[in-house]
């Protein structure tokens, strides 16, 4: 058991954690020291305080936008609304975004933004005023634009806030044809893309699926290939956690035995019906007292449920020295940013627990944001040009099969064979391919370099090498 002294001394500053993880990976690389420092440090940080009149008085708010790297253009990263937002957190998240984009091979560098507010304390009109004023401040300093810096949703924000950001930017620059690409994660009716809302959770699903295709890797943690019947615990039931839970439950036949939210956690060893749980949450506003489950005394207790896969999908620093010895999962799959501290991760590795790093596993959101940004720049809807062509080819194939076999194909099977791809089909296909390729590259590095301590280190190596190559090709370093 860790001593209380060690737990107190544990560094929970996310910026320090990310920088230290970078340094650990750098020890296995031969890039020049100056180049590594360029990749590691945050290029720019914009801090702003601004007043907004709410009711009869003015309120002051503090916001940030960090630009970690400029090896690619534009920069990409979400905007979070949380009372815990601070400059160090924003810088760390911007760095993680740089590495994340490099791992999944997107033409973006990393950025991040945030406003230190609790959105639950404001009504919709007040949030709109705050969002538009924050956007105006970003515009004034050129920290937003289709080819400069492209925000997206994060904790505390969603499609609604992204639509306000787009509309504000469009008002400042009327008539520019690419204005809609200034932000991603918008409603589909405002230039968004099908599948973006659930993209991070879908990416987590695809990433975990790929891990469970490798028999030898799973043998080391005492698991068999395939996800059917695997016991899963989800910490955090917001956008990412709820979609991850639903996809793993409905499509991969996982048994979701524990779920937590900010105010409650529930447990049922026989499995939870996620569709019914989602309806219960919409009806009551909480997952508390869901029929057939036990409501735990404290939400953080969900982390200690014995399971095959534990998915932290909330905030950073959830698994620390204070609770790591109570974690009873075989795989910790990080759907949130920075949920496991380095000292806790070392404890888990020493016990044979596989930790799947955030900079790979939660890259689904930025991947589909890339698809949305590309769609906005081309002004062409995915699937529009080839839908009918694909159906015509499918029809000819089905007709040929019927002629050769002398039998008619059942109508429902026939329809499935000839149906042309819609936008959502193409988005999910592209996302799945991206997650598969990224994991295989990380796994290859991890297997070939026998002395690497973790998949996280292997992921950082993939990211650093790609960013370093970009800087070299730009001529910034020899």
**Could you tell me the two tokens for 23?**
């340094």
Residue 47 domain boundaries: 4-11+43-190
Strand pairing class (44-54; 255-260): unpaired
Domain boundary among 133, 165, 190: 190
The answer to whether residue 168 sits within a structural domain is: yes
CATH of the domain at 273: 3.40.50.720
C-alpha distance from residue 141 to each of 17, 137, 176, 195 (Å): 29, 7, 19, 31
Q: Are 359 and 263 within one domain? A: yes
**List 112, 186, 230, 375, catalytic entry:** 112
How many CA atoms are closer than 13 Å to the CA of 22, on its beta-carbon side?
26
Confidence of residue 36 (pLDDT cuts 50, 70, 90): very high
pLDDT of residue 478: 66
The string of pLDDT tens digits covering residues 187-214 is: 999 999 999 999 999 999 999 999 999 9
Q: Are 204 and 322 within one domain? A: yes
Q: What is the mean pLDDT of the chain?
A: 94
Q: Which of 195, 146, 160 is nearest to 79 (CA)?
A: 160
Q: Which of 125, 111, 41, 126 is nearest to 79 (CA)?
A: 111
The answer to whether residue 451 sits within a structural domain is: no
**Do 308 and 285 form a contact (C-beta atoms < 8 A)?**
no
The answer to whether residue 18 sits within a structural domain is: no
Confidence of residue 388 (pLDDT cuts 50, 70, 90): confident
pLDDT of residue 161: 98
pTM of the model as a whole: 0.93
Q: Are 215 and 353 within one domain? A: yes
Q: Are 255 and 343 within one domain? A: yes
Calculate mean pLDDT across residues 159-188. Answer: 97
Q: Are 351 and 206 within one domain? A: yes
Tell me the torsion sign for CA atoms 150, 153, 156, 158: positive
pLDDT of residue 387: 83
Confidence of residue 6 (pLDDT cuts 50, 70, 90): low
Strand pairing class (44-54; 57-67): antiparallel
- Count of domains observed in the chain: 3
pLDDT exceeds cutoff 80 at 90: yes
CATH of the domain at 141: 3.40.50.10860
Has 112 been annotated as catalytic?
yes
Domain boundary among 153, 173, 190: 190
> Whole-angstrom Cα distance, residue 321 to residue 119?
30
pLDDT of residue 207: 98
């Amino acid at each position: 058991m860790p001593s209380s002294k060690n737990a107190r001394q544990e560094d929970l500053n996310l910026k320090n954690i990310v920088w230290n993880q970078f340094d650990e990976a750098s020890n296995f690389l031969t890039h020049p020291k100056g180049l590594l420092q360029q990749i590691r440090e945050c290029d720019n940080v914009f801090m702003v305080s601004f007043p907004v009149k709410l009711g009869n008085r003015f309120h002051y708010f503090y916001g940030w936008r960090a630009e970690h790297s400029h090896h690619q253009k534009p920069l990409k990263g979400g905007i979070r609304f949380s009372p815990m937002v601070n400059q160090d957190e924003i810088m760390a998240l911007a760095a993680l975004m740089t590495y994340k984009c490099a791992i999944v091979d997107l033409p973006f560098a990393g950025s991040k933004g945030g406003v230190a507010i609790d959105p639950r304390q404001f009504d919709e009109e007040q949030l709109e005023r705050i969002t538009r004023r924050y956007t105006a401040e970003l515009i004034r300093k050129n920290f937003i634009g289709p080819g400069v810096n492209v925000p997206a949703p994060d904790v505390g924000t969603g499609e609604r806030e992204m639509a306000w950001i787009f509309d504000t930017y469009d008002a400042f620059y009327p008539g520019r044809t690419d204005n809609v690409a200034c932000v991603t994660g918008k409603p589909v009716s405002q230039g968004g893309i099908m599948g973006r809302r659930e993209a991070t959770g879908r990416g987590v699903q695809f990433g975990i699926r790929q891990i469970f295709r490798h028999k030898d890797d799973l043998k080391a943690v005492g698991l068999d290939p395939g996800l059917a019947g695997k016991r899963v615990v989800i910490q955090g039931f917001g956008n990412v956690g709820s979609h991850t839970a639903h996809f793993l439950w409905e499509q991969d036949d996982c048994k979701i035995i524990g779920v937590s939210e900010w105010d409650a956690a529930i447990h049922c060893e026989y499995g939870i019906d996620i569709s019914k749980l989602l309806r219960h949450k919409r009806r009551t506003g909480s997952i508390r007292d869901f029929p057939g489950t036990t409501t735990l005394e404290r939400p953080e207790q969900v982390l200690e449920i014995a399971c095959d896969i534990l998915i932290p999908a909330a905030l950073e620093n959830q698994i620390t020295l204070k609770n790591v010895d109570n974690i009873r999962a075989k795989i910790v799959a990080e759907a949130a940013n920075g949920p496991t501290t380095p000292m806790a991760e070392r404890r888990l590795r020493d016990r044979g627990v596989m930790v799947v790093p955030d900079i790979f596993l939660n890259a689904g959101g930025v991947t589909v944001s890339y698809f949305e940004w590309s769609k906005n720049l081309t002004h062409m809807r995915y699937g529009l040009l080839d839908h009918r062509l694909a159906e015509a080819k499918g029809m000819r194939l089905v007709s040929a099969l019927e002629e050769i076999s002398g039998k008619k194909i059942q109508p429902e099977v026939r329809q499935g064979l000839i149906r042309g791809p819609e936008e959502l089909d193409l988005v999910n296909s592209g996302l799945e391919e991206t997650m598969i390729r990224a994991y295989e590259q990380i796994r290859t590095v991890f297997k070939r370099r026998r002395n690497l301590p973790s998949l996280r280190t292997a992921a950082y190596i993939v990211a650093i090498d790609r960013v370093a190559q970009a800087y070299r090709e730009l001529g910034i370093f020899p």
